[in-house]
Structure 1
């Protein structure tokens, strides 16, 4: 019996994210063991997001041209190689190189999101995007547990080897089971021709100025629709606020609530578990009852509660009131992220889904570059500042989401599809 392409995509993304989750929680302490300063640790974390920022639109655009399958295969293979480099990274420059390669490989999320738009109808897209979000949740539950066990018993080298092996298996799985979904894809050889690659597209030149003009045109395409531009804005605001808060949360829980590393791991696993429940099943049912616009707004409101009140939990009550606050955090983030991407895809041009998704992921990655620095600086000023700022940003996102109600997706789709490039 032939497996659903969405099921196969879910498996490949899940394996990729488990490998990512194995390494991520150990990265700051490993960098510190190599002699990295606090600023350098932040830089190493930012390199990963920086590569995602640069390569997400490249992978997305390339997936529009040559297909989702070759882009997914190439990026997964690169991610596997990056973890082999990580296993042998005994110096800070090698560690930076490994994280840069990993960031380039993991930038394929834009192609994965475009894959979903290829194989789903508009009514079921939020649910499908939620499945992708559930893969993130599961990866962050399983990955850190495996990574902690491996580092404690076998050392950091084995952590990288196991992550590379897991993603290597992901690569083999994708080769045999992941079909192509982009019906408009062209052959790779056409990339080297000046003929149009997409019907109606201006033939490509070879000069740097023409390539830059093509990049600017891609930005214009991604932001040509007012609701898409608004959604891109909420994407940045929301992600920046969440990452700004997340970076400071570990320090807060250690210094003010005296939580151990293991207890902090339980807190993250708790959030990941709730995210899997919401994105893996509830989001589809909630979307049927409330619709994407209302659900998007309620997600922002829940996120406000889940970030603003984190530092105001009484000491000694982290695992009572704290878990209650994190419940709102998990629900809010599990709703906003997939619905944002789903709505961007619904407002975008059919044959440029990968390109638009790539810019959406770049916006997300840019926020993830700035967020860690912001969270660290604000925490140094006051332990409550990162959460107050994040709460304010959630309220700004709520206002923007309310403004989206006047843009009906059903009314915009025909106009968007026929709009000139």
Structure 2
């Protein structure tokens, strides 16, 4: 488990390095907020298309080789990004990176292999904490490297990201054990018998009761989260006059909040309240943060209070929804199911930044956060409905 988490942290560190510099690089090459959010969306579109395929592949050949392959692909994509000198090259490089983002679903499947239902939620929380740490340190490093020379540049941040992905590939290939029981060579008789059977058709993961609504929640919560990450740099520049360095500090602080909640609070929260009620608690914090941002003054204090609440609140959905899904899915299809969840989240990250960019450009800097608030409200209502359905069953 530590090897999986560390490899994902290294890779997410590289991804986080790119986040604060892309909006400013878009402006440098003649784009606007709409083009910048489209640059985020192309990454997510390719993740949506490739995520389920990577998950299915990991069910067939094992988690370790599939995960190592995604890290190798990310290394190549970041090198291409380093030498991008116009918007077209940026879009091509980000599309390549998006195709390799199936490592998230594979890592969740590996963690599911290593845990049982009693500690599944905590394991998913640890992956969420790893994301938070990657986004905490990555934007901080990216903001500094991206300002070398006095103007936004992608060369040094992208090379740093490539080196991190290459390190993650080496760690995975060299030290990570195979976690899928029927691929590890350590099967008991029952697992060996199951391994000889052909994998069920992928469509099985969609046919359980309530499964389509569950996958829809991955899409909806990702819309809210992605708008936050895509619009925050533009909001900070328009409202507070911040540059990429200050935006990097803000995202780093939010990432630390997310990491603290995911690593320290998720396990006890799920144990005491369960995944669904914990999701309701997180959505409530998310809605409070949106209200502060929408109706409070456009000041640094508002940003420092609201953004951690907004992003940390709905981030509870990540481990909660994946824990619920992994418990409902066939053990032999964990990679497929979690690959689909990763794909649906990616689809939400396609539409989220585009919707946020249109609202930002067409109305005001605050208007995208009305959409963000609505996603938190939907998450709360769905979780409440599920709790009532299970209680009455």
> Fold-level match, TM-score > 0.5?
yes
Contact 2:178 2:184 in 1 (8 A): no
Which structure has more RCO (C-alpha within 8 Å, separation ≥ 6)?
Answer: 2
Q: Corresponding residue for 1:251?
A: 234
Q: Is 1:8 the equivalent of 2:3? A: yes
Once the two structures are TM-superposed, the CA of residue 113 in structure 1 deviates from its matched residue by: 0.7
For residue 138 of structure 2, the aligned residue among 118, 143, 146 is 143
Alignment of 1:155-234 (within 5 A): 156-185=154-183, 199-201=197-199, 218=202, 220-234=203-217
Taking the aligned partners of 2:298 and 2:43, their CA distance within structure 1 comes to: 34
> What CA deviation, in whole Å up to 9, does each residue of 1:158-214 have, x standing for no partner?
222222122212111111111111123499xxxxxxxx9872547xxxxxxxxxxxx
Taking the aligned partners of 2:213 and 2:50, their CA distance within structure 1 comes to: 22
**1:172 to 1:282, Cα distance in 2 relative to 1, 3 A:** same
**1:393 to 1:147, Cα distance in 2 relative to 1, 3 A:** closer
**1:198 to 1:17, Cα distance in 2 relative to 1, 3 A:** farther
Aligned residues: 381
Contact 1:66 1:186 in 2 (8 A): no
Taking the aligned partners of 2:382 and 2:154, their CA distance within structure 1 comes to: 44
Q: Is 1:112 the equivalent of 2:118? A: no
Q: Is 1:374 the equivalent of 2:372? A: no
Once the two structures are TM-superposed, the CA of residue 353 in structure 1 deviates from its matched residue by: 0.9
Once the two structures are TM-superposed, the CA of residue 14 in structure 1 deviates from its matched residue by: 0.4
**1:84 to 1:113, Cα distance in 2 relative to 1, 3 A:** same
Once the two structures are TM-superposed, the CA of residue 139 in structure 1 deviates from its matched residue by: 1.0
Contact 2:62 2:180 in 1 (8 A): yes
Q: Corresponding residue for 1:235?
A: 218
Residue aligned with 2:207, SS: coil
Once the two structures are TM-superposed, the CA of residue 12 in structure 1 deviates from its matched residue by: 0.3
Once the two structures are TM-superposed, the CA of residue 28 in structure 1 deviates from its matched residue by: 2.4
Residue aligned with 1:226, SS: coil
Where structure 2 has 5 or more consecutive residues not aligned to the other structure, the ranges are 186-193
Q: Is 1:285 the equivalent of 2:263? A: no
Residue aligned with 1:291, SS: helix
Contact 1:76 1:105 in 2 (8 A): yes
Taking the aligned partners of 1:330 and 1:251, their CA distance within structure 2 comes to: 16
**1:141 to 1:54, Cα distance in 2 relative to 1, 3 A:** same
**1:8 to 1:392, Cα distance in 2 relative to 1, 3 A:** same
Taking the aligned partners of 1:331 and 1:97, their CA distance within structure 2 comes to: 31
> What CA deviation, in whole Å up to 9, does each residue of 1:268-298 have, x standing for no partner?
2221111111111211112222222211211
Once the two structures are TM-superposed, the CA of residue 157 in structure 1 deviates from its matched residue by: 2.1
> What CA deviation, in whole Å up to 9, does each residue of 1:347-396 have, x standing for no partner?
11111111111111111011100111111212222444322222222112
**1:171 to 1:354, Cα distance in 2 relative to 1, 3 A:** same
Taking the aligned partners of 1:313 and 1:361, their CA distance within structure 2 comes to: 34
**1:252 to 1:31, Cα distance in 2 relative to 1, 3 A:** closer
TM normalised by structure 1 equals 0.83
TM normalised by structure 2 equals 0.89
Q: Is 1:126 the equivalent of 2:121? A: yes
Which has the higher mean CA deviation after the structures are superposed, 253-262 or 135-144? 253-262
> What CA deviation, in whole Å up to 9, does each residue of 1:85-134 have, x standing for no partner?
11112233332221111111122211111001100111111111111111
Q: Corresponding residue for 1:418?
A: none
Contact 1:122 1:346 in 2 (8 A): yes
Q: Corresponding residue for 1:419?
A: none
Q: Corresponding residue for 2:191?
A: none
RMSD (Å) for aligned C-alpha atoms? 2.5
Q: Corresponding residue for 1:416?
A: none
Once the two structures are TM-superposed, the CA of residue 247 in structure 1 deviates from its matched residue by: 3.1
For residue 378 of structure 2, the aligned residue among 396, 400, 403 is 396
Taking the aligned partners of 2:2 and 2:390, their CA distance within structure 1 comes to: 30
For residue 265 of structure 1, the aligned residue among 217, 240, 248 is 248
Where structure 1 has 5 or more consecutive residues not aligned to the other structure, the ranges are 1-5, 188-195, 203-216, 413-421
Contact 2:143 2:245 in 1 (8 A): no
Which has the higher mean CA deviation after the structures are superposed, 234-243 or 272-281? 234-243
Taking the aligned partners of 2:345 and 2:111, their CA distance within structure 1 comes to: 18
Taking the aligned partners of 1:310 and 1:36, their CA distance within structure 2 comes to: 26
**1:249 to 1:91, Cα distance in 2 relative to 1, 3 A:** closer
Once the two structures are TM-superposed, the CA of residue 260 in structure 1 deviates from its matched residue by: 4.6
**1:57 to 1:27, Cα distance in 2 relative to 1, 3 A:** same
Contact 1:302 1:329 in 2 (8 A): yes
**1:164 to 1:382, Cα distance in 2 relative to 1, 3 A:** closer
Residue aligned with 2:100, SS: helix
